[in-house]
Amino acid sequence: MIHPWVRPKLASKFKCCTNYFAQKLSTAPNIDIQPSESDNQVLSQDPKLPNPLRHHDYFQVRDLVRVKDMFDAKVHLGHKVGSLDDRMRPFVFGVRQNQVIFDLDKSAEFLKDALNFIAHIAYRDGIILFVGQCAQNSSLVEKTAKECKEFAHTRFWRQGMLTNSDKIFRAVTRLPDLVIFTNTLTTVLASNPAIVEAAKICIPSIGIVDSNCNPNLITYPIPGNDDTHSAVQYYCQLFKTAILKGKKAKEETTKLLEETKIQ
Amino acid sequence: MASSRLEKVGTIFSRVTGLLRAGAMDVKDKPIWYDVYRAFPPKIEPLFSRPIEDVPLREIIYPEDSIRAKLHKTLGKKLPAYNLLDRTHPTVSQKIILQTIQYQKENPNLTEDEALSKAIENYNNEIKQFKADDIPQDINKPKFGYYKKSNLAGEFKKAVESKVDLKKILNED
* Share of residues in chain B with pLDDT > 70 (%): 87
ipTM for this prediction:
0.80
Compute the average pLDDT of residues A21-43: 42
Reported as a single tens digit per residue, the pLDDT across A97-106 is: 999 999 999 9
**Chain B partners of A101 at a C-beta cutoff of 8 Å?**
60
A33–B27: do the CB atoms touch at under 8 Å? yes
Locate the domains of chain B by residue range. Answer: 1-53, 64-167
Q: Where is average pLDDT lowest: B24-28, B69-73, B141-145?
A: B141-145
- Long-range CB contacts for residues B46-52, cutoff 8 Å, separation at least 24: B46/A199, B46/A216, B46/A217, B46/A218, B46/A219, B46/A221, B46/B11, B46/B12, B47/A216, B47/B10, B47/B11, B48/A199, B48/A216, B48/A217, B48/B7, B48/B8, B48/B9, B49/A216, B49/B8, B50/A87, B50/A216, B52/A86, B52/A87, B52/A89
Given a cut of 50, whether residue A140 has pLDDT beyond it is yes
**Chain A partners of B39 at a C-beta cutoff of 8 Å?**
53
Q: Rounded mean pLDDT of chain A?
A: 85
Q: Are A193 and A205 in contact (CB under 8 A)?
A: no
**pTM score:** 0.78
**Chain A partners of B50 at a C-beta cutoff of 8 Å?**
87, 216
CA distance B73 to chain A (A): 16
CA distance B1 to chain A (A): 11
Q: What kind and span of H or E run contains A53? A: none
**Chain A partners of B37 at a C-beta cutoff of 8 Å?**
117, 204, 219
For residue B129, name the pLDDT band (cuts at 50, 70, 90): confident
Greatest CA separation for chain A: 78
CA distance A83 to chain B (A): 14
CA distance A99 to chain B (A): 10
Compute the average pLDDT of residues A150-160: 94
For residue A44, name the pLDDT band (cuts at 50, 70, 90): very low
Select from A242, A244, A260 the least CA-distant residue to A50: A260
For residue A257, name the pLDDT band (cuts at 50, 70, 90): confident
Q: Are A227 and A63 in contact (CB under 8 A)?
A: no
Judging by DSSP bridges, how do beta strands A128-132 and A178-183 pair with one another? Answer: parallel
pLDDT value for A17 = 41
pLDDT value for B89 = 85
Measured at the CA of A233, the angle between CA A250 and CA A252, to 5 degrees, comes to 10
Q: Are A154 and A138 in contact (CB under 8 A)?
A: yes
Given a cut of 50, whether residue A131 has pLDDT beyond it is yes
* DSSP letters for A134-170: -TTTHHHHHHHHHHTT-EEE-S---TTTTTTHHHHTT
pLDDT top residue among A135 and A37:
A135
Rounded to whole angstroms, the Cα distance separating A221 from A208 reads 6
Reported as a single tens digit per residue, the pLDDT across B41-75 is: 999 999 999 999 899 999 999 999 999 999 999 98
Candidate from B16, B37, B59 with C-beta closest to A94 = B59
* Share of residues in chain A with pLDDT > 90 (%): 74
Tell me the sheet residues that pair with A208.
Answer: A222
Q: Which chain A residues in 72-101 lie under 8 Å from chain B, judged by CB atoms?
A: 72, 81, 84, 86-87, 89-90, 92-96, 101
